[in-house]
């Protein structure tokens, strides 16, 4: 803990092909931005900004495609890890932001659900989540902020500081342990095993969407 330092990402991952005039960027793994951007990129192939939202919300096929895109994207998460320790994760994350990768997923999308192995990895249902909050903000100057705070599960590590009574988190559970599922029931992933100084994979997916020509921020997530 004493040796931990926050890391400034000078070159975030960028997807500049999902929309004509917009691009989205976010940090590399252990962030899950690369997972979230792929879901958006695939759905953008089916629906344009001019699509009637009221009709989409009533269309079962829209929800099916959303779920299928999530399966393809999340299946790759088991291969991701802190890019400072897992070099293959960096290459995979960069590949997942390319037009070619979106093409590959789009071409494999079907109107019926497929076996788990079809999506390229192990898919698992998300169990109840607790102890996490997120805030997004844009100001009049065009700055955008996307911030997440979490203690992970209920009451975090079930330990509080003596002086201030702050509940400590149990983010160590975001790592994988050989032969053991984590607190959410997810099977272990070798690229996410514990190593000194390594950051665990996270489902947090901070993202900024901005105008490709002007650089002005349009959305923060």
Domains, in order of start, for the chain: 13-126 (1.10.246.130)
Would you state the pLDDT for residue 196?
Answer: 92
**Binding site, annotated residues:** 150-152, 174, 202-203
Q: Note the pTM of the prediction, 2 decimals.
A: 0.72
pLDDT tens, residue order, the chain (221 aa): 678 788 888 899 999 999 989 999 999 999 999 999 999 999 999 998 888 988 888 999 999 999 999 999 999 988 999 999 998 999 999 999 999 999 999 999 999 999 988 998 654 554 555 567 778 888 888 888 888 888 887 788 888 888 888 888 888 888 888 888 887 777 888 899 999 999 888 888 888 899 998 988 888 87
Contact 56, 46 (CB under 8 A): no
Q: b vs e for 74-83, b when ≥16 Cβ sit within 10 Å of the residue's Cβ?
A: bbbbbbbbbb
Q: Is 132 among the residues known to form the active site?
A: yes
For Cα atoms 101, 16, 74, give the angle at the middle one, nearest 5 degrees.
40
The rounded Cα 139 to chain-centroid distance in angstroms is 24
**Binding site, annotated residues for L-glutamate:** 150-152, 174, 202-203
Q: Given 36, 132, 148, 214, which residue is catalytic? A: 132
Helical (H) or strand (E) element with 42:
helix 33-46
């Amino acid at each position: 803990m004493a040796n931990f330092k926050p890391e400034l990402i000078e070159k975030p991952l960028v997807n500049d092909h999902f929309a004509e005039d917009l691009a989205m960027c976010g940090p590399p793994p252990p962030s899950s931005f690369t997972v979230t951007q792929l879901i958006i990129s695939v759905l953008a192939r089916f629906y344009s900004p001019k699509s009637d939202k009221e009709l989409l919300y009533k269309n079962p096929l829209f929800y099916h495609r959303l779920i299928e895109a999530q399966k393809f994207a999340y299946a790759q998460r088991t291969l991701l890890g802190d890019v400072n320790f897992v070099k293959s994760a960096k290459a995979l994350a960069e590949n997942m932001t390319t037009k070619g990768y979106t093409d590959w997923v789009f071409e494999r999308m079907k109107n019926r659900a497929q076996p788990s192995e079809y999506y390229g990895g192990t898919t698992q249902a998300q169990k109840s989540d607790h102890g996490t909050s997120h805030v997004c903000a844009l100001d009049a100057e065009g700055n955008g902020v996307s911030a997440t705070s979490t203690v992970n599960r209920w009451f975090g590590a079930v330990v509080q500081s003596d002086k201030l009574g702050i509940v400590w988190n149990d983010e160590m559970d975001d790592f994988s342990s050989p032969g053991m599922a984590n607190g959410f029931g997810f099977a272990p992933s070798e690229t996410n095993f514990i190593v000194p100084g390594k950051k665990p994979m996270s489902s947090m997916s901070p993202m900024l969407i901005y105008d490709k020509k002007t650089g002005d921020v349009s959305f923060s997530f």
